[in-house]
Homo-oligomer: A and B are copies of this chain.
Amino acid sequence: MQDVGKLAQVSAMTVSRVLKNDPGVSEATRERVFSAVDRLGYRRNETARSLRLGGSGMIGLVVTNLANPFYSRLALGVQEVATEFGFRVLLGNSAEQTDREPELVDDLVDHQVEGLIVVPAGSRQQHLAGAMRRVPVVLAARPPAGLDTDCVLVDDFHGAREATASLLADGHTRIAFLGNPPALYTGAERLRGFWAAHEEVGIEPDSGIIRQGLTDALTAERATRELIEGSDRPSALFCTNNRISQGAIRALYKAGTTIPIAGFDDFDLSDVLGLPLTIVSYDADEIGRQAARLLIGRLGHSDAEPPAARRITVPTRVVRHGAAPGADAGPAPTE
């Protein structure tokens, strides 16, 4: 700024004013400054600026695995709203290592993000308490546990219940459950929905065909194979997330067999697999967008009356795909 000022024959202060569109500058000097600015290719240092002004203009986003479409869509939604409000997104990926999340969070806060959106990896959230004393924190896809903060959730319970009910309505009475670890909120909620749907029709789920603790497509594939090779084979499957659905589909494919599947999370080409597939779909972008809005909404009222913790639930939608390719226009009957 000194240099620009020298070239424009003014002080650095005046340069600052011009760049800030401060009204109190004569048109003449204003133009001299601008021409000096682009002759020198000068650009203001936003970091130094935010040191002075307070407010880095950045929000932090912490996810476990950007390779999972759920998280990348979430990131997209966050990014979208952040941009709209003039914020930038500093990205943290814990790469599935739960123990790295705390340092990631601290690191982002140390870099002066003004707020944080986190999808907590494990069930413990105590590491977020420290961050919350410094900046607002919004949880995505998991509710706060012992924390007083905003969150955006998927309607896990109802989605699972509706999809399960749909299988039950088709006459299935032996539906296997393939789920992620019950310590995770989504795992527990989706099992609860699965169970509730059964109760509503007066059926007790057979706990012998409930598998929890599946972590990826591979473990899901193995579990599925065991189930369908077993003596009392289930007549349908319920999967709690996209990776598990995919593992199950792969197992069935390799076994050269087909049974109806209901599963959480939509994925590409789910409609053209030619399988009897019931998908619990929801808008992952929207979770990110809502989380970003909640967060940015908190950034204004820093020390004023902090509104009570809010909770937004994003709805789910159940989509059924048939077993057979249709004719040229519209779905066709199966042979």
Contacts and interface: CB of A to CB of B under 8 A. Distances in A.
Interface of A: 41, 43-48, 50-51, 56-58, 65-67, 69, 71-73, 75-76, 79-80, 83, 88-93, 95, 106-112, 130, 133-134, 246, 249-250, 253-256, 267-269, 271-274, 285, 325-329, 332
A238 B285 CA distance: 31
A258 to B, nearest CB: 9
Given A47-B47, A89-B91, A110-B44, A256 B76 contact: no
A103 to B, nearest CB: 10
Given A67-B72, A79-B93, A274-B274, A112 B47 contact: yes
Contacts of A57: 111
6 contacts: A45-B110, A69-B69, A69-B72, A89-B91, A253-B271, A256-B325
Nearest to A71: B72
A58 B90 contact: yes
Nearest to A225: B328
A91 B75 contact: yes
Contact of A88 (B95, B107, B268): B107
Tally of this chain's copies: 2
A45 B51 CA distance: 10
A269 B249 contact: yes
Contact of A269 (B250, B271, B325): B250
Contacts of A109: 43
Given A72-B72, A256-B327, A269-B250, A41 B133 contact: yes
A67 B72 CA distance: 6
Contacts of A107: 88
Contacts of A328: 254-256
Nearest to A65: B76
Interface centre among A90, A91, A267, A274 (most CB of B within 10 A): A91
Nearest to A228: B328
A51 B47 contact: yes
B106 A88 contact: no
A139 to B, nearest CB: 20
